Chains A and B, each alone.
Chain A
Amino acid sequence: NFMLTQPHSVSESPGKTVTISCTRSSGSIASSYVQWYQHRPGSSPLIVIYDDDQRASGVPDRFSGSIDRSSDSASLTISGLQTEDEADYYCQSFDASNAYWVFGGGTKLTVL
């Protein structure tokens, strides 16, 4: 199985823009769609981006997703940061060869 590597933590000020990266260890990032989940303490995970760059229903357009085939990485960008965006964010993709859903290790976003 491949791995997805995320930074352990990022921090930024309210109103600013932050980008969280997710790098695939082997194979092409484009071979399976990437999803992003927001996970606040005490709540269930919430899908915010699916199929690389599609916003899930009800998710503000401050959230956007993209992939970079040259670096086999995906990115989640959150603009106009708000304190409510503070959460853990996980990328996820699918290993079709082994029928395995792969999660990144998660990135703790602090808005301060």
Chain B
Amino acid sequence: EEQLVESGGGLVQPGGSLRLSCAVSEFSFNTYDINWVRQAPGRGLEWVSYIARSGDPIYYADSVKGRFTISRDNAKNSLYLQMNSLRAEDTALYYCATSYYFGSGLFKWGQGTLVTVSS
């Protein structure tokens, strides 16, 4: 069965960095665009970033622009999110999710990885 598995979450101090990974198995990773979506405690879903199957284009939500960097390695079936200058408001469960084309819905989701930014 097709699966996305996130990892790399944890506790980090404000101003620190963290790198999330999303490993994909059982399907052709390079045929999908992929997004990061997060959910802060007690809040709703928030789109964070998008990367096309070729690696370009890339887009970010205003709340993370300039601090987060999305990338992918199609040879390793993996997606990454480098998060720098982390803030308390970045505390959330981070999901990776596939989309079929630019602007489409998000069809397959991972189980999420928790990021906590606190001193």
Residues of A within 8 A of B (CB): 32-33, 35, 37, 39, 44-47, 50-51, 56, 88, 90, 92, 94, 96, 99-106
14 contacts between A and B (CB under 8 A): A33-B104, A35-B105, A45-B95, A45-B97, A46-B109, A50-B105, A50-B107, A51-B105, A90-B45, A100-B47, A100-B59, A101-B106, A103-B46, A104-B44
Residue count of chain B within 8 Å CB distance of chain A = 22
Q: Which residues of A contact B103 (CB under 8 A)?
A: 32-33, 94, 96, 101
Please classify the interface of chain B as helix (H, G, I), strand (E, B), loop, or mixed, using the class held by over half of its residues.
Answer: strand
A106 and B95 form a contact (CB under 8 A) = no
B107 and A56 form a contact (CB under 8 A) = yes
- Within residues 10 to 37 of chain B, which ones have a CB less than 8 A from any CB in chain A? 35, 37
Please classify the interface of chain A as helix (H, G, I), strand (E, B), loop, or mixed, using the class held by over half of its residues.
Answer: strand
